Amino acid sequence: MANSWYSYLGQGKDPLVPSSYRRINPQFVPTCTGGCTVCAIFLLGETATTPSTAFTANILNYITNGLASQTAQPDSDPFVRFKNC
The pTM assigned to this predicted structure is 0.92
Domain that holds residue 8: 4-83
pLDDT in tens, the chain (85 residues): 689 999 999 988 999 999 999 999 988 989 998 899 999 999 999 999 999 999 999 999 999 999 999 999 998 889 999 999 8
What number of CA atoms fall less than 13 Å from residue 38's CA on the CB side? 30
Count of domains forming the chain: 1
Q: Are 79 and 72 in contact (CB under 8 A)?
A: no
